[in-house]
Amino acid sequence: MNVGGSSAPFSIGILLSGTGRTLDNIVSFLAENPELGHVDTVVSSRPGVLGLDKAAKYDIPHRVIPCQQPEDSAAIFDHLDQIGIDFVLLAGWLRLLRIPERWSQRVLNIHPSLIPKFSGKGFYGSRVHKAVIEAGESESGCTVHYVDDVYDHGRILLQERVPVQAGDTAETLADRVFQAECVAYPKAIRLLAASRPTN
Ligand code: GRF
């Protein structure tokens, strides 16, 4: 494991449940910045999702590990331990995890709102952006945060803001927020790398 005391590239695990656009973002960022890390496993909570096809296209080992209940996540973290993963990035992962103590502060999520607004159980996908527009907000954005055992709850690492524009629909706002996500997760990886002690 490489969470401190070394400047070797991070071994990163990705957890997803859907289309894998966030996986695309991370893979393309790390292709340009290989000194920061590499994605060594993709775990999906569901079979047959596009994110698994993308993992195959990128030649990243991938598997399905269902997570119907938080306690099912033990099998996921055992898998991550076995291959020596340093950090996990949730990338459109929709299941509640139970984070083992040894994984505390080693799992990050990106959420498409400015937490604590429009976050928590039931706030995912277009529901978030629809609620932002209905509330008359003038800005939205995304949040990268550490994951604990509560939805969208752990310590915030960074946020990126975008304006809500007149005439926005959930789709147009989602696109703008996703562009911000494509900036935010790479920034988060750089922050983690910068906080590693060098020796
Ligand atoms: C993004 O909106 C992100 O904020 C959330 O999942 C969405 C990406 O999912 N966590 P995907 O990569 O398109 O499956």
For ligand 1, whether the C-beta of 111 sits within 6 Å is yes
Q: What percent of the chain has pLDDT over 70?
A: 95
Helix (H, G, I), strand (E, B) or coil at 28: helix
20 is written with which tokens?
């894998």
For ligand 1, whether the C-beta of 18 sits within 6 Å is yes
Average pLDDT, the chain: 95
Can you tell me which atom of ligand 1 is nearest the CA of 20? Answer: 12
Q: Is 62 one of the annotated active-site residues of the chain?
A: no
pTM of the full structure: 0.94
Using the mean position of ligand 1's atoms as its centre, give its distance from the Cα of residue 197 in Å: 31
Residue 44: what pLDDT? 98
User: Which of 17, 97, 181, 183 has most ligand 1 atoms within 8 Å of its beta carbon, as the pocket-test mutant?
Assistant: 181
Of 62, 111, 129, 145, the active-site residue reads 111
pLDDT in tens, 18-63: 999 999 999 999 999 999 999 999 999 999 999 999 999 999 999 9
For ligand 1, whether the C-beta of 20 sits within 6 Å is yes
Find the range with the poorest average confidence among 7-11, 29-33, 135-139, 165-169: 7-11
User: Which of 25, 54, 110 has most ligand 1 atoms within 8 Å of its beta carbon, as the pocket-test mutant?
Assistant: 110
pLDDT in tens, 57-99: 999 999 999 999 999 999 999 999 999 999 999 999 999 999 9
Indicate whether 4 pLDDT > 80: no
Angle at 128 between CA 111 and CA 92, to 5 degrees: 40
- CA dihedral for 140, 142, 148, 150, sign (positive or negative): positive
Using the mean position of ligand 1's atoms as its centre, give its distance from the Cα of residue 144 in Å: 12
Indicate whether 1 pLDDT > 60: no
User: Which of 14, 16, 21, 93 has most ligand 1 atoms within 8 Å of its beta carbon, as the pocket-test mutant?
Assistant: 21
Cα 88 from chain centre: 8
Question: How far, in Å, CA of 143 to CA of 134, rounded?
Answer: 20
